[in-house]
Copies of this chain bind each other. A is one copy, B any other.
Amino acid sequence: MITKQITKINWYENAEKIFIATDCIIFGFDEGILKLLVFERLVNPLKGELSLIGSFVKPNETAPQAAHRVLKEITGLDNIFMEELKTYTEVDRDSGARCISIGQYALIRIDEYDKELVKKHGALWYEVDKLPKLVLDHNKMVEDALNRLRRKSKFYPIGIELLPKNFTIPQLQNLYEVIHQKKLDSRNFRKKLLSLKLLIPLNKKDMSGSKKGAFLYKFDYKKYKKLEENGFNFSLFK
């Protein structure tokens, strides 16, 4: 027993600990434009430079917990859609110290977040295709997250997370067109979408987008979940 304990101590003593951070790639969809929430650093190091919102992972929390903690702090939102992207482990990615980062991308509903809080923390929305230089490897993280968003939204209804809970079909089409940088035929889009029977009609119109107004729907998450378990693919175009 004593031997085992000693060996165990040696086992860990042979290794070196490393700083571990998590960075959030936060997307929002505002007036037909895909945007990213970045952060003007209020403190050193790198004060004044732009970066993703991140944090060290603390000894008593998991990486997702750390990410949700900072997201809550800055947007006021719980229950944000967030998913691990990948780790960034280059030896010299952070000149200050050896530090690996777990990239996590988040999709937030632009009508829900706390605008005061965001402003207070020096966070700003940038259009994804007009991004400034960010610190360290953060631009690469954004690029990776965009690719993931594009690929994943082809087969999973994660785009819905970027729209208000009640949304119209033209809004969703517009979102898909922006994400995939491609015009879609509205008749085919609508037909395919409705054939999935995953939208619950609210029989109310949203009048903000046009004079005629467009019917509002909400997504049937429960039904989708059941379908997904049987290998169903949510795909709206090829």
Contacts and interface: CB of A to CB of B under 8 A. Distances in A.
A100 interface: yes
Interface string A1-34: 0011001100110111111110000000000000
A18 B17 contact: yes
Nearest to A102: B87
Nearest to A12: B97
Chain A interface bracket (under 10, 10 to 19, 20 to 34, 35 or more): 35 or more
Given A44-B7, A96-B12, A59 B90 contact: no
Contacts of A116: none
Contacts of A62: 89-91
A7 B43 CA distance: 8
A19 B11 contact: no
8 contacts: A7-B44, A8-B44, A8-B96, A12-B96, A18-B59, A20-B100, A84-B86, A87-B102
A61 interface: yes
Contacts of A84: 86-87
A140 B56 CA distance: 25
A44 B3 CA distance: 9
Contacts of A11: 43-45, 96
Nearest to A16: B59
A77 interface: no
B45 A8 contact: yes
B15 A60 contact: no
A117 B119 CA distance: 58
A129 to B, nearest CB: 19
A213 to B, nearest CB: 35
A91 B44 contact: no
A119 to B, nearest CB: 23
